[in-house]
Chain A
């Protein structure tokens, strides 16, 4: 058979690898900054662009899409070409993909600090960037599928199955979750509201973890681990079973992020049981990785690359065990909204994604530069300081999460909350926040050492931009028989379609009833759309990222209804585009904060939180008192919301601003009574209006509140 000569594109791999390291360092430094702000709030330098609420999304976006994303592309571009014995379909597409992705990252780094955000976790970027992401992702997909189609290897190796699943699922998730109606160039309202928005968001959020952080990295593991260990993959059977069960089951598990919320019970239960069933398929990947090392364990002791991979796979096993456990309702009742979850995701992020990336880079960079790694000693140092960093990061947060949760739930013998002041439960864990920052710092030091090591390696060698290779062309002939799955491995289009079907089933079964059956969100007649001023306030709440630290979801627990008020009902959120339930309580829940404090309390609190809550770790928001609400935007806001289903009457746009001035003047007068002078156009007025509206639409008939209404009737 005649051998065809061709070459592998290593230059694109080099560029993605550089982007990985650079954005990794940037993203982690932003994370460290956010971590420091939690015990030293003024570390935002009193700038609105660097407050926790804005840079926390910047951190998550940077490490997920810039660091892990670029690492995934570097790894895929290197391994895909070799596994298929073919150069990428088109160099032009490769470069469009590279530069497009980096531009998206830069756009994110600019818009998120400016406060342009959709507020949906890991999908914060506004609609023009969302469209760009979709386009670039499709470019990547065409380039990959095209390469598969012109391959010189008859069967697709397991790594490629995972790459295919990654491509189709992320495309579906991203497009569906980003449905929104634009208000202006950098502002939009989610097409879904309340409970449905929450369901879609966490279907996306959970599967972003699954199909952006897990499946592509399982694919990378299947290439780099056997290569580095020079051992055959342990079990082909296990690969097949765990691949299909993983992608099919993962997609259902999203509702476990919404346990004990207003999400209908049946959807919550589906989230629980599919999370439990997810344990074995996840561990299938870990087992296949670890058992591949049979007979190579002696080398793990010496080889830094293998050490990184072993810890990565182990961390993957730990967090995929912890995930199902956290999905059990009784465990979730303790862990949800606390730092336990932050610890959990960082075992996955720092351990699995980080360490696998490092192992891959240490193995791959010397090879594309045709040289040896500059220093094995430094790589080993990186391994140990990184491991130490993970331990110092995670343990304090587990400790903090459990401590705080127990404090929230603690009642005295007299039946009162032991810690009625939320702040007490925060100051208690501040030392843990400090330790966590130390852990993060150690981890970053390791990454900096790696950067130095890799740069030295690159300078020692010379990039083999086009690595020559040769292989016979694929013969055009029908092959019959073989293992049933081997047939699929020869048919990429059918394989891709089947993967698509597998990941659509769970989503469809959960969404269709949630959207179509009315009883899932019982309507409450007294719940009305927001006033124009409240809408502006809500947009400020979103801009400042208040939802990164404050939930708006009182769960049906006695300790929560005692602390906050009546638990949240599905019908209360029908006009919430987007929903703002939050996922973490660094501060207290705000769903029932409306009418709890006087306007002047909020005024003073936003100007200096420690004035109303001494010891608070919330930063001051002085700019809200200088900046003015953009009244020109009001009609567009009203009209956009009407498009997504909020029943504002036709023509309401025209009277909205007059209505807004009236409500603002009322609040300003109210503040004046307490000796506070402020222009009614100031942003703080709108924010106060929104906060005072929160959770007040339903007449609450809780135990704690019966007496309140009796005093009101008793007259003052």
Chain B
């Protein structure tokens, strides 16, 4: 997906139209496949294998046709020696078609022509095509088995159970991540960052997700002003982290913990604190209490 996104739109458009199959392959793999990754190599190798396989198939078919022609030639001359002429039987496709439809041949169809005539329309009484008939039977068997499996023997999970399984898997994965302790960062342990790249990341997130309510310069709008010293839910890095993480649903502040990684929340919280004391274009009136950095008790007392 990421790969697709980076392409110009027109390119994507053409790509999508012309090469759906190739595109899907990328969809699935693109999140991790970069130009020199082993995955790309794997796909290239697989593509090569497919191409070779197709070539082999074409050659084999071609050889087969030649052999067939030779055999027929021999037969014709053999029969000619005995004074007979060679008569070709129906080809593979014709025989296949005949077998699939079980149709009365065109030249003999008078035998199954019904005697009705509706405004010139006649009807034949051909057999049901066998493949169609068996497909119908099979679908009925499928239906019975499906109902039994889901509703009588309860062997397959219905949607609620499926959902619980999905959640269980996700929490297993989350546990595994916790063991790796990559993202062990919360409102108690967070410290404001001053690393330029991390602040830049914070600004990116702010512009994308926060600016619509708090204004790009932090002056506020739907949400409160972030540049003054007044804070509704506390102005320490821990407080800001917490407000972003859990949100304040009753006032319309969204909880971002399902969307942003802890490090992302730290970055954006840190970026917000760098706005302190700046002068926005149209500042919203102060809301909440003034916060003094370092003052005792305010860290936890929100």
Q: Which residues of B contact A281 (CB under 8 A)?
A: 136
A70 → B minimal CB distance (Å): 22
B85 contacts the other chain (CB 8 A):
no
Q: Are A708 and B247 in contact (CB under 8 A)?
A: yes
Q: Which residues of B contact A707 (CB under 8 A)?
A: 245-246, 255, 257
Q: Are A395 and B20 in contact (CB under 8 A)?
A: yes
Instruction: Give per-residue flags for A569-586: 1 if the beta carbon is below 8 A from chain B beta carbons, else 0.
Output: 000000000000000000
A residues 684-711 near B (Cβ < 8 Å) are 703-704, 707-708, 710-711
Bound CA span A703–B163, Å: 13
B residues 98-129 near A (Cβ < 8 Å) are 101, 103, 106, 109, 113-114, 116, 118-129
Bound CA span A494–B109, Å: 32
Given contacts A273-B142, A432-B13, A557-B163, contact A601 B213 (CB under 8 A): yes
Stretch in A541-549, A610-618, A622-630 touching the partner: A610-618
Q: Are A435 and B13 in contact (CB under 8 A)?
A: yes
Q: Which residues of B contact A430 (CB under 8 A)?
A: 9
A residues 232-250 near B (Cβ < 8 Å) are 232-239, 241, 245
B259 → A minimal CB distance (Å): 4
A352 contacts the other chain (CB 8 A):
no
> Looking at A558, A562, A613, which has the most chain B CB atoms within 10 Å of its CB?
A558
Contact of A82 among B119, B158, B247 (CB under 8 A): B119
Given contacts A232-B123, A558-B170, A674-B222, contact A237 B128 (CB under 8 A): yes
Q: Are A613 and B118 in contact (CB under 8 A)?
A: no
B147 contacts the other chain (CB 8 A):
yes
Q: Which residues of A contact B159 (CB under 8 A)?
A: 260, 265, 268, 329, 555-556
Q: Which residue of the partner chain A has the closest CB to B137?
A: A280
Given contacts A227-B121, A233-B121, contact A598 B163 (CB under 8 A): no
B122 → A minimal CB distance (Å): 4
- How many chain A residues sit at the interface, stated as a range, is 35 or more
B43 contacts the other chain (CB 8 A):
no
Q: Which residues of A contact B257 (CB under 8 A)?
A: 704, 707
Instruction: Give per-residue flags for B232-256: 1 if the beta carbon is below 8 A from chain A beta carbons, else 0.
Output: 1100000000100111111110110
Q: Are A431 and B9 in contact (CB under 8 A)?
A: yes
Q: Are A287 and B123 in contact (CB under 8 A)?
A: no
Stretch in B23-31, B61-69, B74-82, B290-298 touching the partner: B23-31
Contact of A155 among B10, B116, B125, B233 (CB under 8 A): B116
Q: Which residues of A contact B9 (CB under 8 A)?
A: 430-431
Contact of B259 among A223, A236, A416 (CB under 8 A): A416
Q: Are B150 and A556 in contact (CB under 8 A)?
A: no
Q: Which residues of A contact B160 (CB under 8 A)?
A: 556
Bound CA span A541–B162, Å: 33
B51 contacts the other chain (CB 8 A):
no
Q: Which residues of B contact A431 (CB under 8 A)?
A: 9-10, 12-13
B73 contacts the other chain (CB 8 A):
no
Bound CA span A675–B221, Å: 9
Q: Which residues of A contact B121 (CB under 8 A)?
A: 83, 157, 223, 226-227, 232-233
A residues 255-307 near B (Cβ < 8 Å) are 260, 265-266, 268-270, 272-274, 276-277, 279-281, 283-284, 287, 291, 294-295
Contact of A269 among B101, B125, B150 (CB under 8 A): B150
Q: Are B151 and A598 in contact (CB under 8 A)?
A: no
Bound CA span A582–B290, Å: 47
Bound CA span A604–B101, Å: 64
Q: Are A233 and B124 in contact (CB under 8 A)?
A: yes
A716 contacts the other chain (CB 8 A):
yes
Instruction: Give per-residue flags for B253-271: 1 if the beta carbon is below 8 A from chain A beta carbons, else 0.
Output: 0110111110000000000
Stretch in A56-64, A403-411, A653-661 touching the partner: A403-411
Bound CA span A154–B79, Å: 57
Q: Which residue of the partner chain A has the closest CB to B133?
A: A280
B155 contacts the other chain (CB 8 A):
no
B39 contacts the other chain (CB 8 A):
no
Q: Which residues of B contact A232 (CB under 8 A)?
A: 109, 113, 121-124
A417 contacts the other chain (CB 8 A):
yes
Given contacts A294-B106, A558-B167, contact A708 B255 (CB under 8 A): yes
Q: Which residues of A contact B167 (CB under 8 A)?
A: 558, 703
A396 contacts the other chain (CB 8 A):
yes
Q: Are A556 and B162 in contact (CB under 8 A)?
A: yes
Q: Which residue of the partner chain A has the closest CB to B143?
A: A273
Q: Which residues of A contact B20 (CB under 8 A)?
A: 395, 398-399
Q: Are B140 and A269 in contact (CB under 8 A)?
A: no
Q: Are B143 and A277 in contact (CB under 8 A)?
A: yes
Instruction: Give per-residue flags for B268-302: 1 if the beta carbon is below 8 A from chain A beta carbons, else 0.
Output: 00000000000000001000000000000000001
Q: Are B13 and A716 in contact (CB under 8 A)?
A: no
19 inter-chain pairs at a CB distance below 8 angstroms, sorted by A residue, are A157-B118, A238-B129, A239-B123, A265-B159, A266-B151, A269-B151, A396-B13, A403-B16, A410-B1, A410-B31, A558-B170, A563-B258, A595-B252, A596-B249, A612-B212, A703-B171, A704-B255, A711-B246, A716-B233
A-B contacts besides A265-B158, A277-B136, A600-B252, 5 pairs, CB < 8 Å: A83-B119, A238-B129, A556-B163, A597-B222, A708-B249
Q: Which 4 A-B pairs have the closest CB atoms?
A: A598-B252, A280-B136, A273-B143, A556-B163
